[in-house]
């Protein structure tokens, strides 16, 4: 892809472009010397707009994100969920799409349980989660893999191309949380571990262009290892 | 001028730094990490965070905070250093925070802290400078928003001669006016974020020192840049 | 503490199910160690030093020599002091501050393993009976924690000791001349104590756990072993062990000692 070829690794303070032809986008700033990078990452120019795609950093919760979290505490009306962000999130009883006995919240989800949820609101009071959508709910079994949240877009790929490739090759169900937690469930533990390996392979190379090809090659080389 | 005659103990030119090597990503469990070796001084730094500040009473709802923790390994110096914090390392913690804070864009991380841990494996003068260089690399590696890098070097005056990057033998130099140690840290745009001095020097000489520091920090910046870029060049196939 | 740093329960279940099939996530057998990498002389200012990597776990161990006074009950014997710092560098779980219990326990277990194996001839560390003796300081620093810091530290301690040389001693002024090492090695026997820790996870016994596995450990036993002789034991954590489990642990430790010894032998000369 043409845009991918223009990507260039930059470090904080590095001048990406000089002159007035370009506009500073996310992760950049315009100074006397030109447009500079405000973090370590990949600089990219699309239609004269320059931005820096980070390769590392913490998860910043956004409304609408699907996240995977762990129940940290139970209150009288819901669950406190750790979503790998500096602030815990809250899942209210009213955001569970089925009947839950108010006196037995732990029967639905107990401390330590993992859950796939959606962020439906972020405000001063905190982050609110919901289970009222398809594919959300408590995780029954499988593997949880952690990657840097900034690598999630590469794991998913353009319109889900990468994640579908992994799903097909490993025969696993995979749910990717925007917070960097990934849930894998397959027929066998070997399948799940194969999935995990593929995901870590991609995460380690998230800065490469032409990654899909690399991954296909990797599957070619590693297919004998699965049954 | 007498300065021209001056010979440094290890034969370096007056404006020549010791050999430097740097590596990014040396500690897999950290969010960012780096090693900085300058002559016989070796520092490693790791970044954890931004994460929620504990204890809670130290949280600041208006901004994120930087917390540095500098430590000499007990065997990094000739006479064993007692493990744990002392007055010197507590002061250096703060000096390093002041040196690095100006480049950090961490307003958007309220109530959070970025922990920087620095361990000196081998000390041969300039440990705080090596620590700052490693820490700046580790912060960038961790993806912390920064408006530039910080580069640090110790300048010195040996008797009457100005030199760059003192080693331990030079720091202990006693002839003539003896040794003056001047660690300086700068942002890539030349602004000074840290300067200390122990010894004796004239304002005119100090101006010259600052010029020399600027040149040395530029060289250090280029090494930092290379190290960060190299951290992404390893894994094409494998 | 951030709960996310520990292995989640569902992943834990998978690890246990896989162990029951005799397999581990990284493809190792239950009694198999990760790759060991060793580098000696990593700190020039130390009298001896090394870096030990077991998988992604890494420690640096350094030896310093000092002059001290002997204890009253052993006037002709030198001293040994072992410390460990679990640095915040190595894991988000380790906070700055005074040593936590884990660090204290680790240094004590390593100290006992070395001391009781009699690998050090303490009488040869005597300078002037009742007045002046050498003190050996073993200082252990964790650099990256991916499980099993204990065994990495134990291997590091014995290799650093073997790597160490006496500093120059100024007899007239009765002090050490730092910066100058002699060719003289420390008085060590050929008895090489290696600390090996076995963990009980469910009904299985494993060694050299990754962090992910170590989180599931219900009980652990560290055995200081040197060629057929046990010189120290420490059981940690509260799950009890059956007789059979303890016997199994002894078998694994015996086998592992030989394995590890072969791998580190060339650093022990």
Give A139 to chain C, closest Cα distance, Å: 8
Distance CA C79, CA C67 (A): 9
Confidence tier at A208 by pLDDT (50, 70, 90): confident
Q: Give the number of domains in chain A.
A: 3
Give C23 to chain B, closest Cα distance, Å: 24
pLDDT tens-digit map of C19-51: 999 999 999 999 999 999 999 999 999 999 999
Distance CA A213, CA A201 (A): 13
Angstrom distances, CA of residue C249 to CA of C15, C109, C204, C206, C241: 20, 18, 10, 9, 10
Based on its alpha-carbon atoms, the radius of gyration of chain C, rounded to whole angstroms, reads 19
Give B2 to chain C, closest Cα distance, Å: 31
pLDDT at residue C97 in the model: 80
pLDDT at residue B135 in the model: 98
Nearest CA among A100, A176, A136 for reference residue A92: A100
Going by C-beta distance under 8 Å and a sequence separation of 6 or more, which residues neighbour residue C215? C6, C7, C12
CB contact at 8 A, B47 and B82: no
pLDDT of A2 above 50: no
Chain A partners of C4 at a C-beta cutoff of 8 Å? 70, 82, 84
Record the tokens describing residue B205, joined without a space: 């000489």
CB contact at 8 A, A171 and A195: no
Distance CA A92, CA A68 (A): 16
Using omega within 30 degrees of 0 as the cis cutoff, is the peptide bond preceding B165 cis? Answer: no
pLDDT of A13 above 50: yes
Record the tokens describing residue B218, joined without a space: 């530029």
CA B123 vs. chain centroid, Å, equals 13
Please state whether A152 falls in left (phi above 0), alpha (psi between -120 and 50) or beta: alpha
CATH of the domain at A96: 2.40.50.140
Q: pLDDT digit of tens for each residue in chain B (238 aa)?
A: 444 568 898 999 999 999 999 999 999 999 999 999 999 999 999 999 999 888 889 999 999 999 999 999 999 999 999 998 999 999 999 999 999 999 999 998 999 999 999 999 999 999 999 999 999 999 999 999 999 999 999 999 999 999 999 999 999 999 999 999 999 999 998 999 999 999 999 999 999 999 999 999 999 999 999 999 999 876 554 4
Consecutive H or E run containing A66: strand A66-74
- Which residue among B51, B146, B232 sits closest to A12, beta carbon to beta carbon? B146
Can you give the residue range of the structural domain that contains A190? 143-225
Record the tokens describing residue A121, joined without a space: 């609101």
* Pairing outcome for strands A114-123 and A137-138: antiparallel
CATH of the domain at A159: 3.30.1370.10
pLDDT at residue C5 in the model: 67
Mean pLDDT of A158-182: 95
Distance CA C50, CA A179 (A): 38
In degrees, rounded to 5, the angle at the alpha carbon of residue C179 between the alpha carbons of residues C173 and C184 is 80
Q: Tell me: do A108 and A78 sit in the same domain.
A: yes
Confidence tier at A226 by pLDDT (50, 70, 90): low
- Cβ of residue B75 closer than 8 Å to a chain C Cβ: yes
Flag if B28 and C64 touch (Cβ within 8 Å): no
Residue A61 lies in a domain: no
Q: Give the number of domains in chain C.
A: 1
Q: Tell me: do A170 and A183 sit in the same domain.
A: yes
Give C18 to chain A, closest Cα distance, Å: 7
Consecutive H or E run containing C143: strand C132-144
- Cβ of residue B40 closer than 8 Å to a chain C Cβ: yes
Mean pLDDT of A187-193: 96
If one looks up domain B11-225 in CATH, what number appears? 3.30.230.70
CB contact at 8 A, A138 and A129: no
Residue A210 lies in a domain: yes
> Which chain C residue has the Cα nearest residue B67?
C96
Q: Tell me: do A219 and A147 sit in the same domain.
A: yes
Flag if B143 and A39 touch (Cβ within 8 Å): yes
Beta bridge partners of C201: C204
- Cβ of residue A195 closer than 8 Å to a chain C Cβ: no
**Cα pseudo-dihedral A65, A66, A68, A71, rounded to 10:** 80
Angstrom distances, CA of residue C23 to CA of A221, C204, C242, C251: 22, 11, 22, 19
Q: pLDDT digit of tens for each residue in chain C (269 aa)?
A: 344 468 899 999 999 999 999 999 999 999 999 999 999 999 999 999 999 999 999 999 999 999 999 999 999 999 999 999 999 999 988 988 888 899 999 999 999 999 999 999 999 999 999 999 999 999 999 999 999 999 999 999 999 999 999 999 998 988 999 888 999 999 999 989 999 999 999 999 999 999 999 999 999 999 999 878 999 999 999 999 999 999 999 999 999 999 999 999 999 88
Which chains does chain B touch, 3 or more C-beta pairs < 8 A?
A: A, C
Going by C-beta distance under 8 Å and a sequence separation of 6 or more, which residues neighbour residue A156? A162, A163, A176
Nearest CA among B235, B236, B163, B238 for reference residue B205: B163
Flag if B83 and C56 touch (Cβ within 8 Å): no
The 3-state secondary structure of B114-143 reads: EEEEEEEEECCCCHHHHHHHHHHHHHHHCC
Chain A partners of C21 at a C-beta cutoff of 8 Å? 189
CATH of the domain at A31: 2.40.50.100
CB contact at 8 A, C26 and C32: no
- Scanning the structure block, which residue is given the tokens 């870029």? B229
Flag if A207 and B232 touch (Cβ within 8 Å): yes
Please state whether C70 falls in left (phi above 0), alpha (psi between -120 and 50) or beta: beta
Count CB neighbours of C135 within 10 A.
Answer: 17
Distance CA A22, CA A34 (A): 9
Angstrom distances, CA of residue B94 to CA of B87, C94, C259: 11, 21, 47
Beta bridge partners of C220: C199, C236
Can you give the residue range of the structural domain that contains C195? 25-267
Residue A60 lies in a domain: no
- Scanning the structure block, which residue is given the tokens 């995977």? A68
Flag if B69 and C88 touch (Cβ within 8 Å): yes
Q: Coil, strand or helix: which one is C129?
A: coil
Chain C partners of B73 at a C-beta cutoff of 8 Å? 43, 60, 62, 139, 141
Residue C6 lies in a domain: no
Residue A213 lies in a domain: yes
- Which residue among A70, A113, A192 sits closest to C14, beta carbon to beta carbon? A192
Residue A209 lies in a domain: yes
Which phi and psi (to 5°) does residue A117 adopt?
-140, 170
Q: Tell me: do A125 and A147 sit in the same domain.
A: no
CATH of the domain at C246: 3.30.230.70
Contacts by C233-242 with C-beta closer than 8 Å and gap 24+?
A: C234/C105, C234/C109, C234/C112, C236/C105, C239/C200, C241/C200
Based on its alpha-carbon atoms, the radius of gyration of chain A, rounded to whole angstroms, reads 20
Comparing A102-106, A184-188, B163-167, C125-129, the range with the smallest average pLDDT is A102-106
Residue C54 lies in a domain: yes
- Cβ of residue A61 closer than 8 Å to a chain B Cβ: no
Query: How many CB pairs below 8 Å do chains A and C form together?
Result: 33
Distance CA C187, CA A11 (A): 51
Which chains does chain C touch, 3 or more C-beta pairs < 8 A?
A: A, B
pLDDT tens-digit map of A28-74: 999 999 999 999 999 999 999 999 999 999 899 999 999 999 999 99
Q: Tell me: do A168 and A218 sit in the same domain.
A: yes
Distance CA C263, CA C267 (A): 9
Give A171 to chain C, closest Cα distance, Å: 17
- Scanning the structure block, which residue is given the tokens 């700055």? C96
Angstrom distances, CA of residue C199 to CA of C6, C214, C218, C251: 17, 8, 7, 13
- Which residue among B111, B147, B236 sits closest to A13, beta carbon to beta carbon? B147
Q: Tell me: do A148 and A132 sit in the same domain.
A: no
- Cβ of residue B101 closer than 8 Å to a chain C Cβ: no
Residue A114 lies in a domain: yes
pTM comes to 0.94
Chain C partners of B77 at a C-beta cutoff of 8 Å? 45
* Pairing outcome for strands A49-54 and A15-17: unpaired
Q: Tell me: do A175 and A216 sit in the same domain.
A: yes
CB contact at 8 A, A70 and A46: no
Q: Coil, strand or helix: which one is A227?
A: coil
The interface residues of chain A toward chain C in range 56-95, judged by CB-CB distance below 8 A, are: 70, 72, 82, 84
């Amino acid at each position: 892809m043409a845009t991918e070829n223009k990507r260039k690794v930059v470090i904080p303070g590095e001048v990406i472009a000089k002159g007035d032809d370009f506009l500073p986008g996310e992760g950049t700033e315009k100074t006397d010397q030109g447009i500079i990078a405000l973090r370590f990452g990949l600089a990219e120019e699309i239609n004269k707009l320059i931005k820096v795609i980070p390769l590392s950093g913490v998860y910043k919760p956004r409304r609408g994100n699907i996240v995977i979290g762990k129940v940290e505490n139970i209150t009288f009306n819901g669950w406190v969920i750790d979503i790998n962000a500096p602030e815990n999130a809250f899942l209210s009883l009213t955001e569970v799409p089925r009947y839950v006995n108010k006196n037995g919240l732990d029967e639905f989800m107990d401390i330590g349980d993992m859950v796939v949820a959606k962020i439906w609101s972020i405000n001063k009071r905190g982050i609110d989660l919901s289970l009222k959508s398809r594919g959300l709910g408590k995780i029954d079994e499988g593997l949880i893999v952690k990657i840097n949240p900034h690598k999630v877009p590469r794991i998913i790929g353009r319109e889900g191309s990468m994640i579908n490739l992994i799903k097909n090759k490993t025969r696993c169900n995979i749910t990717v949380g925007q917070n960097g937690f990934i849930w894998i469930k397959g027929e066998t533990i070997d399948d799940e571990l194969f999935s995990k390996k593929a995901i870590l392979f991609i995460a380690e190379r998230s800065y490469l262009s032409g990654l899909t090809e690399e991954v296909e090659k990797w599957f070619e080389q590693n297919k004998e290892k699965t049954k | 001028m007498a300065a021209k005659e001056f010979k440094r103990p290890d034969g370096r030119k007056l404006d020549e730094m010791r050999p430097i090597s740097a590596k990014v990503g040396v500690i897999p469990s950290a969010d960012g990490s780096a090693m900085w070796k300058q002559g016989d001084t070796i520092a490693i730094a790791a970044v954890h965070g931004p994460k929620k500040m504990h204890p809670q009473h130290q949280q600041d709802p208006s901004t994120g905070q930087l917390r540095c923790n500098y430590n000499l390994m007990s065997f990094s110096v000739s006479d064993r250093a007692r493990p744990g914090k002392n007055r010197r390392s507590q002061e250096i913690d703060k000096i390093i925070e002041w040196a690095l804070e100006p480049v950090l864009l961490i307003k958007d991380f309220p109530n959070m802290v970025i922990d920087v841990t620095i361990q000196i494996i081998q000390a041969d003068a300039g440990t705080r400078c090596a620590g700052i260089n490693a820490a700046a690399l580790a912060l960038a590696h961790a993806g912390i928003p920064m408006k530039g890098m910080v580069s640090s070097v110790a300048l010195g005056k040996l008797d009457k001669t100005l030199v760059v990057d003192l080693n331990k033998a030079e720091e202990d130099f006693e002839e003539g006016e003896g040794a003056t140690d001047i660690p300086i840290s700068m942002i890539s745009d030349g602004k000074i974020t840290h300067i200390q001095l122990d010894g004796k020097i004239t304002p005119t000489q100090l101006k010259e020192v600052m010029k020399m520091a600027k040149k040395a920090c530029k060289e250090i910046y280029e090494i930092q840049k290379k190290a960060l870029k190299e951290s992404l060049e390893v894994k094409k196939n494998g | 503490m951030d709960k996310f740093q520990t292995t989640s329960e569902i992943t834990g279940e998978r690890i246990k199910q896989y162990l029951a099939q005799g397999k581990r996530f990284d493809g190792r057998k239950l009694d198999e160690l990760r790759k060991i990498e060793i580098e000696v002389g990593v700190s020039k200012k130390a009298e001896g030093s090394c870096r030990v990597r077991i998988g992604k776990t890494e420690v640096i161990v350094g030896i310093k020599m000092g002059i001290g006074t002997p204890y009253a009950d052993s006037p002709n014997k030198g001293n040994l002091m072992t410390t460990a710092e679990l640095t915040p560098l190595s894991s988000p779980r380790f906070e700055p501050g005074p040593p936590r219990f884990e660090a204290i326990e680790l240094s004590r277990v390593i100290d006992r393993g070395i001391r009781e194996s009699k690998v050090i001839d303490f009488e040869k560390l005597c300078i002037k009976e009742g007045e002046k003796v050498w003190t050996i300081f073993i200082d252990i620093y964790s650099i990256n924690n991916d499980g099993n810091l204990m065994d990495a530290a134990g291997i590091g301690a014995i290799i650093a000791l073997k790597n160490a040389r006496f500093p120059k001693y100024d007899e007239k002024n009765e002090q050490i001349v730092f910066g100058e090492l002699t060719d003289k090695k420390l008085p060590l026997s050929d008895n090489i104590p290696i600390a090996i820790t076995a963990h009980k996870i469910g009904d299985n016994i494993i060694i050299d756990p990754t962090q992910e596995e170590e989180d599931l450990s219900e009980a652990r036993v560290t055995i200081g072993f040197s060629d057929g002789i046990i010189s120290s034991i420490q059981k940690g954590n509260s799950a009890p062990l059956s007789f059979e489990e303890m016997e199994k642990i002894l078998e694994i430790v015996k086998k592992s000692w030989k394995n590890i010894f072969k791998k580190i032998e060339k650093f022990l000369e």
